[in-house]
Structure 1
């Protein structure tokens, strides 16, 4: 979920529905918190069920494919059935996923839970983003940019705290999320739907992938940064806790949760602080921060320094948030309204492939060469991709306007 509009002063617009804005924003937070909740628990699962790093990253990636499938298929469904109906259906599917996590007794149950969770999140994404903009056309864009990253951060840190200090480490966090989801479903069910229903729901399920000619060069230019953003996110959300434990020497889920929170919390803070800047400047800052942060993280791995890893993660996190925001704001305005869905579907395909495929590759590399060499190599590739995006962005910004088609 993200913004496709240009920055605007954050004042309530006429017709703002604060209750709907708050309600749907908290649902986004819960969905994203649930998505990152397993991250600090992966080590616990691995210890209990004795599976390899390859299986760990495969469990993580099992979330991305169904999410992408339902995202591109149902992205426009709420335009026909209404926001509330689609959101409530997605919340019901998410509840099934959380219940499956809570009773999981092996890797097959983990795979099933992640797949169902991906389906739920993909179905909810478009409807929630649209419902938030319906509730406040001015501040909705900012909420759609910050809430997903903030939810991922809260989920990782909250799970780390619960697993460390509360009983039933493999169940409690999912039961808490289920309770929160139930309360939110009751609120959403009473929220007036501001989107009128219209025919064509079945036809809207056909995925549309297209890149209009006006956006092709821009998409190519932002792709290195976008791939770096989500490759880094995929590694942090899957193998990040293992790396944090290896460098810190602390065998605690809170260590992994803290590292994940550092990345995502810094990303949310950077988006909040810089969302009013022009798209080109945001992208430039994101690429620079990703390059520097990844280089610092590689140095941390090579020197075995956990404090340096945290510092690199925070810098990378600022690049994570601003790199994604800058990429979206660069390409979205270049498509006509009728072409934007196809363009964004293509963009999300790139994003989720970048999140899942490299993470699975990292799992295979860990099994063969070890965690620390894999982390150093992975971080180097992310830094080089970010540097390529930085150079491309700088060239575009310094090219005379008359020399550009």
Structure 2
């Protein structure tokens, strides 16, 4: 397969072992490679979630305007999107191992830039580099995890690729938040730990066995192919509100909630900001793992409904300045993210031929990460003029309207007609 994110594969379909090139004693056993690459994939997402509770601390210390903080989040999503579109299929041509090594090395550079950053400009540079690394890693690592999984447990490999993105983002935010709560120089501590982790991950990747045979066309694969095959066009357009809502919800809990906690709830605790993201993405991870047999059409309805309710409750928590409501919103919103995106992709992907998947994945991710990046940037542009409370209430209302639109269109005839049976379900979760 040469789809944009090949390793985010069918969790219920066995993936045959790929050809493996290995010299005697040079590479690690497949089982060790499977565990190590799974851990490395989680750690790249942990690093991506780590800035969530730290950015408000940088804002207070350096005194830059709030819009620059959301810009730092937005450019990460745009850089990640560009990397997925350009590099997403490259490992099918040059092999998994070179791209995994390269992605980890690039993320190591990002961690070093974070560690030595002295201004918001350097934070933005670090986030751009991190976005490129995460996008480059997503397809190659996910494919390697599936292909290195034990032959009798290929579903385990696909399940790991499904759970790792949301789990990693949540763990990263919680890890950084807790460290920031109890360490005198939290930013340095977080980035130093992640520098060490990326060094170890890069060294480990040198010794993983290759699972993909090289083939020509590497340069041609760098040209993004964005297309929506005619047989899924109606379903794709009815899925757009849910995908946009899911990634705007990720923006909310990764990029905006830490700001809201300080401005609305008068708490500067970085642990709370990290915990909110952890609760949301933890709920999404559990939902993804538990709904492998649920029909995609039903998942989309459940996901959009819970995101709508979650957004309304979130707005209520801000209006009432009552923190317990925010935690309820986090749980429901996280369930919505997992259900909506999984339902959308599981419904779309099995309906197209293998050679059509690259363009389809590109179309899905184009919508998803533009929604994530642009919503963060727009929120940042208006926050200084209208204030944090008005900005976040408006964001929540827009999110609720988009998600409710997803409920309406998901109950329509195109969604029912194109709902894929559970046994063909494809597990994909966002990075």
Q: Which interval holds the TM-score relative to the shorter structure?
A: over 0.9
1:235 aligns with 2:252: yes
The alpha carbon displacement at 1:392 in A equals: 1.6
The residue aligned with 2:73 is 60
The 5-angstrom pairing of residues 23-34 of structure 1 reads 23-34=36-47
1:241-280 superposed matches below 5 A: 241-280=258-297
Larger CA deviation: 305-314 vs 166-175: 166-175
* Secondary structure in 2 matching 1:239: helix
Deviations 1:89-119 (A, max 9, x none): 1111110000000000001111111111111
Distance 1:259 1:248 in 2: 13
The match for 1:197 among 214, 218, 222 is: 214
- Equivalence for 2:146: 133
Equivalent residue, structure 2, for 1:99: 112
Secondary structure of the structure 1 residue equivalent to 2:411: helix
Q: Are 1:20 and 2:24 an aligned pair?
A: no
In structure 2, C-alpha distance between the alignment counterparts of 1:53 and 1:327, rounded to whole Å: 33
Structure-2 change in CA distance of 1:7 and 1:84 (3 Å): closer
CA offset at residue 295 of structure 1?
A: 1.1
8 Å contact 1:5–1:329 — kept in the other structure?
no
Question: How far apart in 2 are the matches of 1:160 and 1:134?
Answer: 34
Task: Report the CA distance between 1:83 and its aligned residue.
Answer: 0.4
Shift, 1:86, TM fit: 0.6
Indicate which of 372, 378, 392 corresponds to 1:361. 378
The alignment of Structure 1 onto Structure 2 pairs a total of residues equal to 400
Deviations 1:149-196 (A, max 9, x none): 000000000000111112321211111111112222232222111111
Instruction: Tell me, yes or no, if the aligned pair for 1:2 and 1:144 is still in contact at 8 Å.
Output: no
Q: Is the 8 A contact 1:211 1:342 kept in 2?
A: yes
Provide, for residues 358-401 of structure 1, a one-character-per-residue CA deviation record: whole Å limited to 9, x for no partner: 11111122111111121111111111111111122222389689
Which range is displaced more, 80-89 or 14-23?
14-23
- Post-superposition offset of 1:49: 1.4
TM-score (norm 2): 0.88
C-alpha distance after superposition, 1:10-64 (max 9, x if no partner):
x998899433322221111111111111110111110111111111111111112
Q: Deviations over 1:229-253 (max 9, x none)?
A: 1011112211110112334332111
For 2:417 and 2:91, the matched residues in 1 are separated by: 43
Alpha-carbon offset, residue 300 of structure 1: 0.9
TM-score (norm 1): 0.93
Matched, 1:88 2:119: no
1:292-345 CA deviation, whole Å, 9 max, x = no partner?
A: 111111111111111111111111111111111111111111221111001101
**Worse-superposed segment, 346-355 or 62-71:** 62-71
Q: How does 1:170-189 map to 2 (within 5 A)?
A: 170-189=187-206
Give the Cα separation in 2 of the matches to 1:400 and 1:188: 44
Q: Within 5 A, what are the aligned runs for 1:292-303?
A: 292-303=309-320
Q: Which structure 2 segments of 5+ residues have no match?
A: 19-28, 419-431
Query: Contact conserved, 1:71 with 1:122, CA < 8 A, in 2?
Result: yes
Unaligned runs of 5+ in 1: none
Q: Distance in 2 between the 1:395 and 1:367 partners?
A: 40
CA gap of 1:214–1:72, structure 2 versus 1, over 3 A, is same
> Is 1:167 the counterpart of 2:171 in the alignment?
no
Distance 1:7 1:75, change over 3 A: closer
Q: How does 1:187-226 map to 2 (within 5 A)?
A: 187-226=204-243
1:352 to 369, 372, 377: 369
Q: Which deviates the most, 230-239 or 243-252?
A: 243-252
Give 1:4 deviation, angstroms.
6.0
Contact 1:245 1:256 in 2 (8 A): no
Tell me if the contact between 1:247 and 1:305 (Cα under 8 Å) persists in the aligned partners.
no
| Alpha-carbon distance between aligned partners in 1 of 2:417 and 2:344, rounded to the nearest angstrom | 21
Structure 1 counterpart of 2:162, from 145, 154, 167? 145
1:208-267 CA distance string (max 9 Å, x none): 111111111111011001000101111221111011233433211111111111211111
Give me the whole-angstrom Cα distance separating, in 1, the residues matched to 2:31 and 2:203: 17
